[in-house]
């Protein structure tokens, strides 16, 4: 069995894109592709796809799909402070694990 790659973000996290065409934009992670270390963001990095008709009566269409971005190009984002930051792991008194942003000391549940 191959080991899954560890990625510093999770589904549902708010992240800021730090490099590439969409640099500076903020979005939410909808899916993570662990084998290739890619993330898919909601309504960002849209690519145009031409779809052929499947049946005779059907017509073809042009749709926009969300393309993946490498996980190294995104960073956790604090919506309250409007700043992106790295994180550290902290534990509460019940030994429950939380992520804490280093710049703002904000806990991510």
pLDDT over 90 at 78, yes or no: yes
20 Ramachandran zone, left/alpha/beta (phi>0; psi -120 to 50): left
Q: How confident is the model at residue 86 (pLDDT cuts 50, 70, 90)?
A: very high
Instruction: Please write the tens of the pLDDT for every residue from 6-38.
Output: 899 999 999 999 999 999 999 999 999 999 999
Q: How far is CA 103 from CA 21, 30, 85, in A?
A: 26, 25, 6
All structural domains of the chain: 14-81 (2.30.30.30)
- Identify whether the C-beta of residue 92 lies closer than 8 Å to the C-beta of residue 100: no
Q: Is the pTM of this model over 0.85?
A: no
Query: Shortest CA distance to 73 belongs to which of 29, 19, 5, 26?
Result: 19
**What is the pLDDT at residue 5?**
80
């Amino acid at each position: 069995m191959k080991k899954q790659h560890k990625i510093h973000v999770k589904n549902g996290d708010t992240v800021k894109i730090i490099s590439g065409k969409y640099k500076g934009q903020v979005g939410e992670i909808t899916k993570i592709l662990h084998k290739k270390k890619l993330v898919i963001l909601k309504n960002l990095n849209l690519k145009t796809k031409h779809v052929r008709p499947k049946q005779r009566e059907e017509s073809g269409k042009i749709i926009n799909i969300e393309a993946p971005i490498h996980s190294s190009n995104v960073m956790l984002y604090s919506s309250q402070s409007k700043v992106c930051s790295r994180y550290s792991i902290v534990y509460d008194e019940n030994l429950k694990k939380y992520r804490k942003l280093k710049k703002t000391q904000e806990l991510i549940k």
